[in-house]
């Protein structure tokens, strides 16, 4: 059986940064890239299922990671291989540039149709954009059952169903049974992700990463990029800083000063 894990190489801001000349993103020279934190937990959950199956002499489990990104995303994929993934797939084409989370989900769904996994795992969200929509959108494209914000999973490889617990608003937990194949978005804290050993890092460096094109997946260029996206970035900017100030003095003096500030602001608004 097979578990497919969608991962993303996210971008974090350096301390000092500049906005790109077109105003739509941060200059890439000021970005630090790494594996998305939520995806680390998704991968760990898949690897644990594989190891439990092997220990119990159950069905062999293959863990496949897929990333939609350019060649520099290979670094994050090799990190996944070092932590227990069996195969790594990277999908990229220049026409993918500018895709929103839904267009990316369309590509992930195409990979799932090609790989035919028993389960598709994705992180609840990415730490850079935090849309929390890619995994659920992939389920919609596949027409598979799905559950979001999963904090506990009981799944025996090859089983037709899985039992899971997920977070709802207000601290409420929801336990449910889901039919497989299914898409699950994994929440932080479901497990403790492992560190890759030096030996596994060296072994991962020698493993191939499968580069797959849109044509191989049967995805049209018009279905990705800005043309295939329902949302697009208009501009990115650093918001103006507020005018907060510390008010010194006694309680009476602070109250009088606060009243004056409110009066001045009300006057300027008028």
DSSP string, 42-68: HHHHHHHHHHHHHHTT----EEEEEEE
pLDDT at position 244 is 79
pLDDT tens digits, one per residue of 35-60:
999 999 999 999 999 999 998 877 89
pLDDT at position 177 is 98
H/E stretch holding 121: strand 119-123
Per the rule left: phi > 0, alpha: psi between -120 and 50, beta: everything else, 189 is left
How far from chain centre, in Å, is Cα 244? 35
pTM: 0.87
Whether 114 has a pLDDT exceeding 80, the answer reads: yes
Cβ-contact 183, 138 below 8 angstroms: yes
pLDDT tens digits, one per residue of 206-225:
999 999 999 999 999 999 99
Give the span between the Cα atoms of 83 and 43, in whole angstroms.
Answer: 8
DSSP state of 20: -
Mean predicted confidence (pLDDT) in 199-212:
96
pLDDT band at 146 (very low <50, low <70, confident <90, very high): very high
Mean pLDDT for all residues in the chain: 93
pLDDT at position 268 is 65
Can you read off the two tokens belonging to residue 32?
A: 């630090």
pLDDT higher for 12 or 213?
213
Give the span between the Cα atoms of 77 and 90, in whole angstroms.
Answer: 8
Mean predicted confidence (pLDDT) in 30-38:
93
pLDDT at position 239 is 84
Helix 74-82 with 198-206: angle, nearest 10 deg: 130
pLDDT at position 270 is 52
């Amino acid at each position: 059986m097979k578990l497919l894990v969608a991962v993303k190489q996210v971008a974090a801001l350096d301390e000092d940064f500049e906005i790109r000349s077109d105003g739509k993103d941060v200059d890439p020279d000021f970005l630090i890239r790494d594996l998305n934190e939520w995806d680390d937990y998704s991968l760990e959950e898949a690897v644990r299922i594989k190891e439990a199956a092997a220990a119990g002499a159950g069905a062999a489990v293959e863990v496949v990671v897929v990333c939609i990104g350019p060649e520099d995303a290979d670094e994050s994929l090799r990190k996944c291989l070092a932590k227990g993934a069996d195969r790594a797939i990277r999908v990229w084409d220049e026409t993918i540039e500018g895709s929103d989370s839904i267009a990316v989900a369309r590509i992930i769904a195409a990979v799932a149709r090609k790989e035919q996994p028993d389960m598709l795992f994705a992180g609840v969200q990415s730490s850079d954009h935090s849309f929390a929509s890619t995994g659920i959108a992939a389920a919609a494209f596949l027409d598979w059952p799905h559950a979001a914000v999963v904090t506990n999973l009981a799944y025996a490889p090859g089983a037709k169903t899985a039992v899971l617990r997920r977070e709802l608003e207000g601290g409420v937990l929801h336990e449910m049974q889901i039919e497989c194949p299914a898409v699950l978005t994994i929440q932080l804290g479901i497990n403790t992700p492992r560190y890759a050993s030096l030996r596994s890092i060296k072994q991962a460096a020698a493993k191939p990463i499968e580069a797959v094109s849109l044509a191989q997946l049967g995805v049209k260029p018009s279905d990705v990029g800005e043309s295939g996206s329902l949302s697009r970035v208009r501009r990115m900017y650093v918001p103006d800083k507020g005018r907060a100030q510390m008010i010194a003095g006694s309680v009476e003096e602070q109250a009088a000063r606060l009243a004056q500030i409110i009066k001045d602001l009300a006057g300027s608004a008028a």
